[in-house]
Amino acid sequence: MSESTTPAAAPAVEVDVAIVGGGLVGASLAAALAPTGLRLALIEGAAADDARQPSFDDRTTALGNGTRRIFEALGLWSDIAPQTAAIRRIHVSDAGRFGFARLEAAELGLDAFGFVATNRTLGAALRARLASIPGLHLRMPARCTAAQLHADHVELHTEGDAAPIRARLAVAADGAKSLLRAAAGLEAATEDYGQVAVVAHAAATRPAEGTAYERFTPQGPFAVLPLAGVAGDGRDHGGGAYGVVWTVASADADRVLAMSDDEYLAALQQAFGWRAGRFTRVGARQAYPLKLVRADRVTAPRVVLVGNAAQGLHPVAGQGFNLGLRDAATLAELLADAVSASTRAAPAGAVSAFDAGAPALLEAYAAGRERDRDGITRFTDGLVKVFGDSRPGVPLARDIGLLLFDLSPSAKQAMSRLSWGFAARTPRLARGLALAVRGDGA
């Protein structure tokens, strides 16, 4: 009998932290952890140059000033900034009614409330950074197919014959339908808003000049945001470029998607009005069902949730990515501080006993993110519901509330701080400060 020629299974790849999901939040976390000296792995199902990467598409993302600081601290803002449009004015209105409010950044001592970028722009900067991280075990494209939790590690399997990855800490950054979250037994409540966001880029005859519009309609919120450069067919026709997020009832989404460009532009003009001038061009339209997804807990033994795996929000206030990035910034800071503390505590010449999945670290993360998650989730969910409430007296009350808000400098000042979140302590990266690195004693 001849000996078997079947090759032995490849040994597992041992890492400190494995990130499942290489979208905007997962890739940002990898970039934040790069200076720590930790052994890192990142698993992402879409290839780096795949135009179908769902996180790096042409959707627009509002970046708060805290998010800008994080990207500055990571050395990414210089690549992102040239392709962003500043939000210097915000106009909010209740469609067909008298309620409205206006916010001016300059009146509140700000250069801008935030910035608008396409996910594709953010993705390009993050992909370039991932390629430059020394020692990063990058599996892209590779879909995580299974996760097995053990006392001292999580074993992650990917499609194909690749060796498993064993991580002291596994980070779920794989979205609202997270496989890792399910494997860890972390329950998530889901509420379907019955709405679909139809997203497109459009060109209009009037320059945006830093103005973002949020109009609340009976079917849902309607956002028209300034964009950098040109829109529609990619050529400059004069005027302004805008990102349009048109929320419609789920039953109406197919009708809007099936419209010809001319039909869509006419419907957009009628629904939005003429504040941007005449809409002249529109690019491809994409639809995204809107749901509130919120995990009951964000940690399990050796597992932590960030971004949409922890909470998926309605885009009404543009806070979903900002909140998820603060998840990543907080986790990165805790890990960096733990590495430094462990290195300082180790005897000279000894190997540090650092454990990325230590229970105390996960407890600190959960406690540090609770207030911010709860506050932003309640705020966005409340906006959707109060402006979708047509019971007698409610529309009148909210319009009066909008007008009172418009007259209150203190209320506007409080709103301008929304992008920093509700946490008792702002993450170090969101203050523009670099993280400690292995052995630097910072």
Cα distance between residue 284 and residue 263, in whole Å: 14
The verdict on residue 266 lying in a domain is yes
Query: Any residues with CB less than 8 A from the CB of 385 and at least 6 apart, and which?
Result: none
| Residue 367: pLDDT over 90 | yes
Asked whether the CA dihedral 13, 17, 22, 28 is positive or negative, the reply is negative
Per-residue pLDDT, averaged over 45-58, amounts to 64
pLDDT value of position 350: 43
Overall number of domains in the chain = 1
How confident is the model at residue 416, as a pLDDT? 87
Residue 46 has pLDDT above 90, yes or no: no
Residue 442: inside a domain? no
- pLDDT digit string, tens, across residues 64-117: 999 999 999 999 999 999 999 999 999 999 988 888 999 999 999 999 999 999
245 domain-assigned: yes
**Confidence check: pLDDT of 349 > 50:** no
Which of 98-102, 126-130, 150-154, 435-439 shows the lowest per-residue confidence on average (mean pLDDT)?
435-439
Indicate the average pLDDT of the chain: 89
Q: What is the C-alpha to C-alpha distance for residues 246 and 197, in angstroms, rounded to an integer?
A: 6
pLDDT at 441 over 50: no
Q: Please give the pLDDT value at position 360.
A: 96
- Within a domain: 441: no
Is residue 374 scored above 60 in pLDDT?
Answer: yes
Residue 96 inside a domain? The answer is yes
Mean pLDDT of all residues in 144-156: 96
CB atoms within 10 A of CB 257: 15
Q: What is the pLDDT of residue 234?
A: 45
Q: Note the pLDDT of residue 53.
A: 53
pLDDT, position 3: 43
Give the angle 37-41-46 at the CA atoms, nearest 5°. 140
Residue 324 belongs to a domain:
yes
**Rounded distance between C-alpha atoms, residue 72 and residue 429, angstroms:** 9
Least confident of 3-7, 188-192, 420-424: 3-7
pLDDT tens for 393-434 read 888 999 999 999 989 999 999 888 888 889 989 999 999 998
How confident is the model at residue 415, as a pLDDT? 87
Query: How far is Cα of residue 337 from the mean position of the Cα atoms in its chain?
Result: 24
Q: Residue 181 — pLDDT band, cuts 50, 70, 90? A: very high
Expressed as residue numbers, the domain containing 117 is: 13-426
Q: What is the pTM of this model?
A: 0.92
Q: Where are the beta strands (DSSP E) in 135-184?
A: 137-139, 144-149, 154-158, 165-172
The confidence score (pLDDT) of residue 351 equals 44
In a domain, 436, yes or no: no
pLDDT of residue 158: 95
Distance (Å, rounded) from C-alpha 78 to C-alpha 94?
Answer: 37
**pLDDT(58) > 90:** no
Residue whose token pair is 């000049």: 209
Q: Which of 55-59, 146-150, 151-155, 427-431 has the lowest mean pLDDT?
A: 55-59
CATH code, domain carrying 355 = 3.50.50.60
pLDDT at 1: 39
For 260-309, write each residue's pLDDT tens digit.
999 999 999 998 889 899 999 999 999 999 999 999 999 999 999 999 99
